[in-house]
Structures are given as C-alpha cells and as structure tokens.
Amino acid sequence: MLITPASKFIFIGDSITDAGRDPAGEATPWNPRAGTGHGYVSLVEAWLGATRPGERIRIINRGTSGHTVRDLAARWETDVLAPAPDWVSIMIGINDVWRQFDTPLRADLQVHLPEYRATLENLVTRTRPHVKGLVLATPFFIEPHRADPMRAMMDAYGAVVRELATSYDAVFVDTQTAFDAVTAHTHPMTLAWDRIHPSPTGHLILARAFLAALGAL
C-alpha cells in the first residue's frame, strides 16, 4: 500500500465527500461512527481500520456540500495546509459543471474550464511539496452516454485532473470509469437518483476505486 503507517490523510471535496460528516470530520467520542460521514470516505476509513489496524491511519473528511474548486481555494489554508497532513485527496468539479446546467443564468455560480484548471493546479502546486502523497480524483456524472452534454463536459474536466495527476506525480483515481463499468449492466438511477449523489452502492464503487489506486485492495 502506498500510504505509510501513522499517516494523517485529508479528503476534501464537495457533497459526495461530505456525505453528512461530523463538523470535526473524523471520529469523536460523541460521534464515533459518523465522524467521517456516510459515504466513500467512511468506507475507506473502515476498510483500512479492518484490514490494517496496526498502521493507525488517521482519516479526516473536509468535504463541504455544494462546493466548487473556487470554494476549496478559499478554505485551503485552514482546512488542508494548516493541519499538516501526510496525504491529501482532492475530488472536485461536479458542481463546477452542474451549475452550468441546473442554473444556466447564474454565471456567478459557475466555474468554467480555464478557471477550474488554473485553480486546481494552484492548489496542487501549493500542496505537493508539503505532503508525502497526493490523490487527484475525477468528477463524475453517472450517465453512460458520452454524447450527453453534461457527461461530455464532465469528461473534459476529468481530463484536466488526469493531466495534473501525471504532471505532479499524484495518484490518479478515475471515478467516471469506475461508474461506467457498473452502468454497463444497470441503469444509472440505481446508483444515484439524480446521477450525482450516490447510493450506498455508488459510494462503495468510489471507495473501491480509491482503495485500488492506493494499493490497499
């Protein structure tokens, strides 16, 4: 596995990462089970705790519902750099794309591709020298038809993530491909009613993709 023992690992992103997390973002005495939320981050934490208990990897969830890469940049110092993690995972871009479709008249809420690329690369360059490992995960739209306008745009944002992962020696997680493998056999609405917010099965698909990329499976 790529993660070394006693590592502090911060996951940051939007509602998919948030998944109802405790404000502390990790297990606490008053909320031991739901600290990291009910999504893929909690499943990654549970897998590591069950299969590698002696390695004592500390998982912290810094996902915030509704956020774009612009919002991440505004809280990067306090939520990522100040805690001095050993590893950081970034999965962002869904709302950057989605706002261009569900609120097309609200240009102030939309993050177009050039800004997305520049902002994400800035976060990566600020972070990479200070961590042992960085994970970059694509945004996704659980829609198998690649010609769908929102799917096509999401793929373009995902391509930026792939490029940055290669350029900055980051672990790359292709969440879209992970979902495509399953939607080849089932309708996307069985994984997410809005094709964005995953069911428990959808979160397990994400967790498996992350764990596989980290060499933990």
Instruction: Kindly name the residue from 65, 86, 180, 197 that is annotated as catalytic.
Output: 197
Do residues 172 and 179 lie in contact, with contact meaning Cβ atoms separated by under 8 Å?
no
Do residues 40 and 210 lie in contact, with contact meaning Cβ atoms separated by under 8 Å?
yes
Measured distance CA(139)–CA(147) in Å, rounded: 17
- Give the number of residues written for the chain: 217
Instruction: Kindly name the residue from 7, 14, 15, 203 that is annotated as catalytic.
Output: 15
Bridge pairing between strands 58-63 and 8-13: parallel
96 is catalytic: no
Measured distance CA(1)–CA(30) in Å, rounded: 31
199 is catalytic: no
197 is catalytic: yes
Instruction: Kindly name the residue from 102, 112, 167, 194 that is annotated as catalytic.
Output: 194
Helix (H) or strand (E) holding 9: strand 8-13
Measured distance CA(174)–CA(171) in Å, rounded: 10
Catalytic residues: 15, 194, 197
